[in-house]
């Protein structure tokens, strides 16, 4: 009986506990439902609101009622088609805003794309266009490492010169050499000893355009190019046509890609194009019909551009435009701290990352080794002398540390005209610059054989050659007596770091800003350089205008050729023509012979600073220049 009662009590307690548990469970379910409801409401609110980005504040949307919906759609669906990433969309608010602002008839003008160009104080908004694109990986790293220096240079230039009231231009940058379609792989080999010169120049041009406040559109593939130029390639709305672009920077490979994409319609973009061309293109190679007639063979010539549309690495070809690059001597504060403890040693660093540069140079290096320890930064598989302390392929900061330790940067006669010798000077390290016997050109050199010029290179680095001692010492590699003479002189001197202004961030900003503002090939409005800069020099027979201007302490300015190409105008400069005619049979005009028969150029693409004639006296357009800023005349700023 008692046992039955005990069972009943236990059953009642169990039922009571179960009812209590059920009640608690019901309360928890209600609470969970409330939480889910609140979360759902927050999600809806989140969908309704687009969070602002510190680098990309939302523009006013009152006039654009569809904007919020389009931004929400982009937030959720940007990965639905690969074409969005082609246009630079990467999931960030910045990329959504920029994309939507560039699609015709879609939404607003993104407030970052103002009509006025304002010097930027950060590069961070640029990074979304670079960081996840393999062809730009090395370029992105260089730009990021130099941000502090670029921003300071922009501030400094703004403080010195009035660069307000500039119109913000839309600028397309398409480095054809880095595209996968080109097959050169320079964007990938850059990390293991490949050539860096072109990548350095592209990095610095991109930074310059962005700091100056222009609207930058980056292309790294043919599909990018088609998208930006408005050639529809998929389901995304295409960018607005490049007819809206003011300038297009590319290279020879990229120019061919543009021609291929646009077919015959590329002609309407022709005047906007600037071609980065390290070694230069001379006018007779550029002129397709002339080059064919005179057997001037080059796969990189014949584009029939105005020669000044070719932008060079160094100021060696006056018919072209000097673009340049930046020598990374101005370091970020972190890098400066790293290098403070570096002390100069009795050592030399050899300029040559590839084994082939060292071939046949061991006797030369043996002589140098008598005087100092020799270091290298060569691919580990290279065959080099046993006494060389090889550091392998290293980073830019590590190279700078080695240069600061070294007294001499040893040229091996190749590669030609690279950035490294100027980096040595910037770090207080003398450059040993080998003479070339005979001078190298497309007429006698395998390396230059395909280049569209016959410019003679007299040393490994002609620009450095012009800097002269005590920073740059010319040497005959094959004459041990000469090598020892030079080394003895170097060891008895010390130099301070030196870099020409034109190779600093500020110098490049100044130069490119003026080129963007003033150099115009699409319209005849305005004249630049200003006419007041013109100085006329007569070149003796057999002398080019480049040489004649240099002898007068000036440089040849091809923009002034049309000014001298008339009977009336040259009479102001003491040329008394007895007879005259226009001709397209010479590349040295305007000119005259001893009978005072004057010849004027009928084809403006054949104006040339660099050619001479044994029977004609040339009438040369020269101008002055700013010291260490040769691209600009004194009246140009």
Read out DSSP for 515-534?
A: HHHH--SS---S-SS-GGG-
Alpha-helical (H) ranges within 244-303 are 252-262, 283-286, 288-293
Question: Is the pLDDT confidence value at 58 over 90?
Answer: no
Instruction: Please tell me the predicted confidence (pLDDT) of residue 242.
Output: 44
Question: Is the pLDDT confidence value at 508 over 50?
Answer: yes
How far apart (Å, rounded) are the C-alpha atoms in residues 465 and 113?
44
Q: How far is CA 90 from CA 77, 95, 97, 179, in A?
A: 11, 6, 11, 19
Q: Whose structure tokens read 């599909």?
A: 223
- The SS3 call for residue 72 is helix
**Cβ of 148: how many Cβ atoms within 10 Å?**
16
How far apart (Å, rounded) are the C-alpha atoms in residues 141 and 278?
22
User: Stretch 345-358: mean pLDDT, rounded?
Assistant: 95
Question: Is the pLDDT confidence value at 349 over 70?
Answer: yes
Task: Tell me 59's DSSP state.
Answer: P
The domain spans of the chain are: 51-113, 116-322, 334-499, 529-623
User: Stretch 263-292: mean pLDDT, rounded?
Assistant: 96
At 100, the pLDDT band (50, 70, 90 cuts) reads confident
Instruction: Please tell me the predicted confidence (pLDDT) of residue 461.
Output: 99
Question: Is the pLDDT confidence value at 2 over 80?
Answer: no
Instruction: Please tell me the predicted confidence (pLDDT) of residue 70.
Output: 72
Among 184-193, 205-214, 435-444, which is the least confidently predicted range?
Answer: 184-193
- The SS3 call for residue 9 is helix
How far apart (Å, rounded) are the C-alpha atoms in residues 221 and 5?
88
Looking at every residue in the chain, the average pLDDT score rounds to 88
Q: Whose structure tokens read 């072209």?
A: 320
At 1, the pLDDT band (50, 70, 90 cuts) reads low
**Cβ of 53: how many Cβ atoms within 10 Å?**
16
How far apart (Å, rounded) are the C-alpha atoms in residues 381 and 637?
50
User: Stretch 183-209: mean pLDDT, rounded?
Assistant: 94
Task: Tell me 621's DSSP state.
Answer: E
**Cβ of 300: how many Cβ atoms within 10 Å?**
21
Instruction: Please tell me the predicted confidence (pLDDT) of residue 118.
Output: 96
How far apart (Å, rounded) are the C-alpha atoms in residues 633 and 624?
5
How far apart (Å, rounded) are the C-alpha atoms in residues 556 and 489?
35
Q: Which residues pair with 629 in a beta bridge?
A: 626
Report the candidate in 278, 246, 297 with the shortest Cα–Cα distance to residue 175.
278
Instruction: Please tell me the predicted confidence (pLDDT) of residue 520.
Output: 95
Report the candidate in 481, 636, 537 with the shortest Cα–Cα distance to residue 161.
636
User: Stretch 181-199: mean pLDDT, rounded?
Assistant: 92
Report the candidate in 517, 520, 521, 512 with the shortest Cα–Cα distance to residue 209.
512
Question: Is the pLDDT confidence value at 104 over 50?
Answer: no
User: Stretch 313-327: mean pLDDT, rounded?
Assistant: 98
- State both tokens at 398: 């590590």
Q: How far is CA 425 from CA 272, 279, 384, 422, in A?
A: 36, 22, 25, 5
Question: Is the pLDDT confidence value at 82 over 90?
Answer: no
Question: Is the pLDDT confidence value at 48 over 50?
Answer: no
Among 41-45, 217-221, 445-449, 456-460, which is the least confidently predicted range?
Answer: 41-45
How far apart (Å, rounded) are the C-alpha atoms in residues 280 and 287?
14
User: Stretch 296-316: mean pLDDT, rounded?
Assistant: 97
Parallel, antiparallel, or unpaired for β 373-376 and 389-390? parallel
Question: Is the pLDDT confidence value at 10 over 90?
Answer: no
Report the candidate in 536, 542, 582 with the shortest Cα–Cα distance to residue 560.
536
How far apart (Å, rounded) are the C-alpha atoms in residues 250 and 191?
23
Report the candidate in 552, 118, 587, 508 with the shortest Cα–Cα distance to residue 311.
508
User: Stretch 27-34: mean pLDDT, rounded?
Assistant: 61
Instruction: Please tell me the predicted confidence (pLDDT) of residue 383.
Output: 87
Q: Which residues pair with 459 in a beta bridge?
A: 435
Burial 200-214 (b: 16+ CB within 10 A, else e): bbbbbbbbbbbbbbb
Superfamily of domain 334-499: Glycogen Phosphorylase B; (3.40.50.2000)
Q: Is the peptide bond before 438 cis (omega within 30 degrees of 0)?
A: yes
Q: Do the Cβ atoms of 225 and 219 come closer than 8 Å?
A: yes
- State both tokens at 98: 């920029």
Instruction: Please tell me the predicted confidence (pLDDT) of residue 93.
Output: 81
Among 27-36, 259-268, 449-458, which is the least confidently predicted range?
Answer: 27-36
**pTM of the predicted structure, to 2 decimals:** 0.83
21 exposure class (CB count in 10 Å sphere: 0-12, 13-18, 19+): exposed
Q: Which residues pair with 539 in a beta bridge?
A: 618
Question: Is the pLDDT confidence value at 27 over 70?
Answer: no
At 47, the pLDDT band (50, 70, 90 cuts) reads very low
Question: Is the pLDDT confidence value at 507 over 80?
Answer: yes
Instruction: Please tell me the predicted confidence (pLDDT) of residue 201.
Output: 98
At 160, the pLDDT band (50, 70, 90 cuts) reads very high
Instruction: Please tell me the predicted confidence (pLDDT) of residue 113.
Output: 53
Question: Is the pLDDT confidence value at 238 over 60?
Answer: no
Among 316-330, 363-377, 597-611, which is the least confidently predicted range?
Answer: 316-330
Handedness of CA 186, 188, 194, 196 (dihedral sign): positive
Q: How far is CA 483 from CA 111, 352, 407, 447, 458, in A?
A: 60, 18, 15, 26, 18
Q: Which residues pair with 623 in a beta bridge?
A: 555
Q: Whose structure tokens read 């019901």?
A: 26
């Amino acid at each position: 009986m008692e046992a039955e009662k005990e069972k009943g009590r236990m059953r009642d307690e169990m039922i009571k506990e179960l009812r209590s548990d059920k009640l608690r469970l019901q309360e928890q379910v209600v609470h969970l439902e409330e939480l889910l409801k609140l979360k759902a409401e927050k999600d809806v609110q989140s969908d309704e609101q687009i969070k602002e980005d510190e680098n990309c504040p939302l523009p006013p949307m009152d006039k654009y009622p569809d904007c919020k919906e389009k931004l929400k759609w982009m937030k959720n669906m940007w990965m639905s088609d690969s074409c969005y990433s082609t246009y630079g969309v990467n999931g960030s608010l910045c990329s959504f805003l920029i994309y939507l602002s560039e699609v015709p008839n879609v939404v607003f003008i993104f407030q970052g794309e103002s009509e006025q160009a304002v010097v930027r104080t950060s590069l961070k908004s640029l990074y979304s266009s670079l960081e996840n694109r393999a062809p730009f990986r090395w370029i992105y790293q260089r730009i990021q490492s130099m941000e502090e220096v670029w921003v300071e240079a922009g501030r400094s230039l703004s403080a010195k010169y009035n660069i307000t009231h500039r119109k913000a231009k839309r600028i397309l940058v398409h480095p054809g050499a880095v595209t996968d379609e080109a097959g050169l792989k320079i964007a990938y080999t850059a990390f293991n000893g490949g050539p860096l010169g072109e990548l350095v120049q592209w990095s610095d041009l991109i930074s310059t355009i962005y700091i100056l406040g222009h609207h930058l559109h980056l292309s790294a593939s043919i599909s990018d190019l088609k998208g930006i130029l408005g050639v529809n390639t998929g389901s995304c709305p295409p960018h607005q046509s490049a007819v809206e672009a003011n300038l297009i920077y590319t290279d020879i490979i990229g120019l061919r890609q543009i021609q291929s994409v646009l077919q015959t319609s590329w002609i309407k973009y022709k005047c906007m194009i600037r071609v980065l061309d390290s070694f230069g293109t001379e006018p007779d190679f550029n002129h397709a019909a002339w080059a064919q007639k005179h057997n001037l063979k080059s796969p990189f010539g014949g584009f029939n551009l105005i020669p000044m549309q070719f932008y060079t690495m160094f100021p060696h070809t006056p018919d072209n435009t000097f673009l340049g690059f930046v020598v990374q001597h101005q370091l970020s504060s972190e890098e400066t701290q790293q290098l403070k403890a570096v002390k100069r040693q009795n050592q030399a660093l050899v300029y040559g990352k590839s084994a082939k540069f060292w071939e046949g140079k061991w006797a030369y290096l043996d002589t140098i080794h008598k005087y100092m320890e020799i270091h290298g930064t060569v691919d580990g598989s290279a065959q080099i002398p046993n006494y060389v302390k090889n550091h392998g392929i290293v980073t830019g900061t590590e190279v700078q540390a080695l240069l600061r330790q070294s007294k001499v940067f040893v040229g091996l006669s190749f590669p030609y005209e690279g950035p490294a010798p100027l980096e040595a000077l910037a770090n207080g390290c003398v450059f040993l610059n080998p003479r070339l016997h005979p001078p190298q050109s497309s007429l006698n050199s395998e390396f230059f054989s395909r280049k569209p010029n016959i410019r003679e290179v007299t040393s490994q680095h002609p620009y450095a050659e012009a800097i002269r001692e005590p920073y740059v010492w010319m040497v005959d590699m094959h004459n041990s007596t000469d090598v020892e003479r030079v080394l003895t002189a170097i060891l008895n001197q010390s130099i301070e770091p030196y870099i020409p202004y034109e190779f600093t961030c500020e110098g490049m900003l100044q130069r490119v800003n003026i080129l963007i503002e003033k150099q115009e090939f699409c319209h005849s409005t305005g004249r630049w350089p200003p006419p007041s800069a013109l100085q006329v020099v007569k070149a003796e027979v057999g002398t080019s205008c480049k040489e004649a201007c240099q002898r007068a302490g000036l440089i040849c300015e091809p923009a002034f050729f049309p000014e001298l190409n008339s009977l009336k105008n040259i009479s102001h400069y003491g040329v008394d023509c007895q007879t005259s005619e226009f001709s397209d049979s010479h590349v040295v005009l305007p000119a005259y012979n001893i009978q005072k028969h004057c010849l004027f150029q009928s084809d403006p693409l054949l104006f040339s600073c660099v050619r001479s004639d044994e029977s004609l006296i040339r009438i040369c357009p020269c101008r002055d220049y700013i010291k260490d800023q040769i691209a600009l005349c004194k009246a140009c700023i």
